[in-house]
Amino acid sequence: MNTTTSLPRRRLLTLGLGAALAIGVGPALASRGERRLAFTHLHTGESLQVAYWQDGGYVADGIAAINHLLRDHRSGEAGAMEPQLLDLLFRLQQRLGLQRPYAVISAYRSPQTNALLRQSSSGVAKKSLHMEGRAIDVRLPGDAMQALLRAAHDLRGGGVGYYPRSGFIHLDTGPFRTWRG
């Protein structure tokens, strides 16, 4: 092995990775720093702004606070929200430069609540990802909704449903697909 040629190549690769992270190619995937999310739950009136990731790992207290806020507001039951969903929300927030909290309509749903909702609406899936903590329905003010919809389509991070009559966007970590409700 010729160390005179591999050292510059290794250094070049290291500098290239650092530059890629610095310009934002993967801000949600960087191992250092902090990831924060802010939510306002429209049904409970509760708000939260919290770091859920710091210095290379998920923050247990931050995740617990998010799980509590995003609980099933009908039953009070909290589920474990999937960290990949939080990362998707963070990436969207970064991409859009969002300063406002996500207005949450629904996140975790107990199986009982999901069954109840299915009885009154044809738009509720029998095996909804809400029951697995893998889905959230959110609203943003004004033009930010359309920007969020476009960014979610571009990221292709999971399912993206747009419900213009109800004024919300469904995001989940299932396979990429889109629909209009």
Same domain, 139 and 113: yes
Shared-domain flag, residues 8 and 96: no
Looking at the chain, list the stretches that DSSP marks H as alpha helix, in order from N- to C-terminal side: 3-22, 60-69, 83-96, 111-120, 144-155
Task: Return d(Cα 169, Cα 181) in angstroms, integer.
Answer: 10
Q: Based on the domain organization, do 113 and 134 belong to the same domain?
A: yes
* Pair 40, 60 in one domain: yes
Q: Looking at the structure, do residues 10 and 43 belong to the same domain, yes or no?
A: no
Q: Are both 24 and 107 inside the same structural domain?
A: no
Q: For residue 65, what pLDDT band results from cuts at 50, 70 and 90?
A: very high
Indicate whether 38 pLDDT > 60.
Answer: yes
Same domain, 22 and 39: no
Looking at the structure, tell me whether residues 19 and 40 fall in a common domain: no
pLDDT at 31: 52
Determine the Cα–Cα distance for residues 107 and 78; give it in Å rounded to an integer: 10
Which pLDDT score, from 0 to 100, does residue 124 have?
Answer: 81
Looking at the structure of the chain, the number of domains it has is 2
Could you give the strand order of the β-sheet that contains 168-172, starting from the edge strand earlier in sequence?
57-58, 47-54, 34-41, 102-106, 135-139, 168-172, 159-163, 177-180
pLDDT tens sequence across 124-180: 888 899 999 999 999 998 889 999 999 999 999 999 999 999 999 999 999 999 999
Same domain? For 9 and 42 the reply is no
Residue 14, domain extent = 1-30
Do 5 and 38 lie in one domain? The reply is: no
Checking if the pLDDT of 10 tops 80, the result is: no
Q: For residues 12 and 92, which has the higher predicted lDDT (pLDDT)?
A: 92
Both 41 and 105 in a single domain? yes
Q: CATH number for the domain including 70?
A: 3.30.1380.10
83 and 115 in a common domain: yes
Copy the structure tokens of residue 86.
């939080």
